[in-house]
Structure 1
Amino acid sequence: MTSGKDPNRPSILGGPTIVLVEPQLGENIGACARAMLNCGLTELRLVRPRDGWPNEKAQAAASGADLVLDGVRLFDSTADAVADLEVVFATTVRTRGMIQEFVTPRLAAERMRAHYAAGHKVGVLFGPERTGLVNDDLTLAETLITVPLNPSFSSLNLAQAVLLIGYEWFQTGDVPPAELLHTGQTRPATKAELVNFFEHVEGALDRTGFFTSPEKRPSMVRTLRNAFERMRMTEQEVRTFHGVIAALTGKRKGDP
């Protein structure tokens, strides 16, 4: 397919941040950048790319999507990559036993558009080509995206997945945003604020002996984090829960 660049046509840019976790090939990163710019998406973050960054093969595969590649940001962990985001979706083929909400790309795009229109920072996580996202990465998202395809052959390559989500996002451009929960004078909590709260809760539970089995602790932690993620807490609610945990684990009034 020939280049679709046309300097005489206006660019339609802006949208959710795309986060590729441990992408394996530079060519795949470049193809994702191309798919992103097709759909007006420009912010790409990479978590521990296997072949390092920058990558010449990515430049070649991007077919001129330099606007995306020039702005790539690198991160050491998925949590760091989404720390400043307020709403995160994650793509997965398998449910992996997670108790989270699963939506189609179309419904996810409508929700992204509504959040974006409200000024919220939105991101979408994509996992490594061979394995997909691990459970600990999935717990950083409120909502999981799964694509209804042929059950006997449902795998997509990384760029296909990015293009599919990006296309659905782009198609919502003329759709009025759906209503969002009114949060008053506060805002949705960022992922950094939520992770800090999770660690506060888990530390308190460790001190009280809640986790009686070291082997079961990781799955119990994921269950707790998923439950709090589904609440979609605001920054004010997170601060309130910090106070609740401190009150439950600290000294009570009248204690010596």
Structure 2
Amino acid sequence: MQGPTEPAFVLVRPQMGENVGAAARAMWNFGLQRMRLVDPRDGWPNPRAVAMASGAGRVLDGAGIFPDLEGAVADCTFVYATTARPRDLTKTVFSPEEAAADMARRIAGGERVACLFGPERAGLENQDVARANAIITVDLNPEFSSLNLAQCVLLVAYEWRRATQAAVPVRTEMAGAQWASALEVDHLARHFEERLEEAGFFFPDHKAESMKLSLRNLWSRMPLTGQDVQTLHGVLRQMVRWARKG
């Protein structure tokens, strides 16, 4: 039987329903929904968590509730503990990016993994961390290294998404436009050359060809859409009309 295709996010003794709801939103933002709660302080279900989840209710609806951490991770083969504080424990320490890649490799190999997040006041206790196989630590400002529960969940969830989804690092939103063709750009360049020729821009004569070449090079470097080309044609026509009226 195939195991889960994503890690379980285990919130250990969370104190405020609002933070549980915010954590659910953070998880669902990145397509994660395996939430487990260990001994939530204000009980469960929690209407404040539901209100804060706002659209991510499915994560709360499917959350597993456990009286202790032992039960919450009993079915897991590898557990990560998130902590910003140094511990007197010998364990592998991952950055969130490397931890997410490691999770993905383990899950692809059939393992069941979980990631622990501590309560808001002071984070995981040493007894909690001791149950984990590895630690996830973020390189934070040493003078202020405390992350909100939902922030920590979001950060790990984001890295999980990066590790498992092919994302385009940079893209251009075309908003329905199309890139201008070489022919369209050539017509625009000719239009400008003709009007600039009339205006006496290419002076002195012996520099005219190099000036036209520079302009052609300028057009080729500009990422123009078809609409951009039409706009520039229109701007030039209007400027010529205005100059002729004068």
Matched, 1:89 2:99: no
Residue in 1 that maps onto 2:43: 52
* Local SS of the residue matching 2:156: helix
Conservation of the 8 A alpha-carbon contact between 2:15 and 2:40: yes
* 1:130 equivalent in alignment to 2:121: yes
- Residue 117 (structure 1) aligns with: 108
Decide which of 38, 58, 69 is 1:67's aligned counterpart. Answer: 58
2: CA distance, partners of 1:84 / 1:30: 25
Per the TM alignment, residue 14 of structure 1 is displaced from its structure 2 partner at its CA by: 4.7
The 1:73–1:174 alpha-carbon spacing in structure 2 relative to 1, beyond 3 Å, is: closer
Provide the rounded CA distance (Å) in 1 between the counterparts of 2:12 and 2:48. 18
* Structure 2 match to 1:42: 33
Please state how far the C-alpha of 1:57 moved relative to its aligned partner. 0.4
CA-CA distance at 1:174 after TM superposition:
4.0
Give the aligned partner of residue 198 of structure 2. Answer: none
Letter in 2 for 1:132: G
Distance in 1, Cα, partners of 2:165 & 2:75:
27
Q: In the alignment, is the contact (CA less than 8 A) between 1:91 and 1:124 conserved in 2?
A: yes
Q: Which residue matches 1:148?
A: 139
Match of 2:163 among 147, 161, 172: 172
Does the 8 Å CA contact 2:5/2:107 hold for their aligned counterparts?
no
CA separation in 2, counterparts of 1:151 and 1:135? Answer: 20
For the pair 1:16 / 2:15, whether they are aligned, the reply is no
State the alpha-carbon separation in 2 of the partners of residues 112 and 41 from structure 1: 13
User: How many residues matched?
Assistant: 163
1:170 is matched by which residue type in structure 2?
R
Is the Cα–Cα contact under 8 Å of residues 5 and 108 in structure 2 kept in the other structure?
A: no
Q: Report SS of the residue matched to 2:31.
A: coil
Percent identical pairs in the alignment equals: 53
Runs of 4+ in 1 over 4 A off after TM superposition: none
Provide, for residues 36-94 of structure 1, a one-character-per-residue CA deviation record: whole Å limited to 9, x for no partner: 00111111111110000000000010011011011011111101100001111000111
Name which of 59, 77, 80 aligns with 2:71. Answer: 80
Deviation digits for residues 178-230 of structure 1, max 9, x if unmatched?
xxxxxxxxxxxxxxxxxxxxxxxxxxxxxxxxxxxxxxxxxxxxxxxxxxxxx
Q: Which amino acid aligns with 1:145?
A: I
Specify which structure has the higher proportion of helix. Answer: 2
Distance 1:44 1:99 in 2: 27
Q: TM-score, normalised by structure 1?
A: 0.62
1:214-233 mapped onto 2 (5 Å cutoff): none
- Give the Å deviation of 1:96: 2.2
Amino acid at match of 1:114: R
- Whether the 8 Å contact between 1:24 and 1:49 is mirrored in structure 2 is yes
Report SS of the residue matched to 1:102. strand
Distance in 1 between the 2:151 and 2:19 partners?
Answer: 10
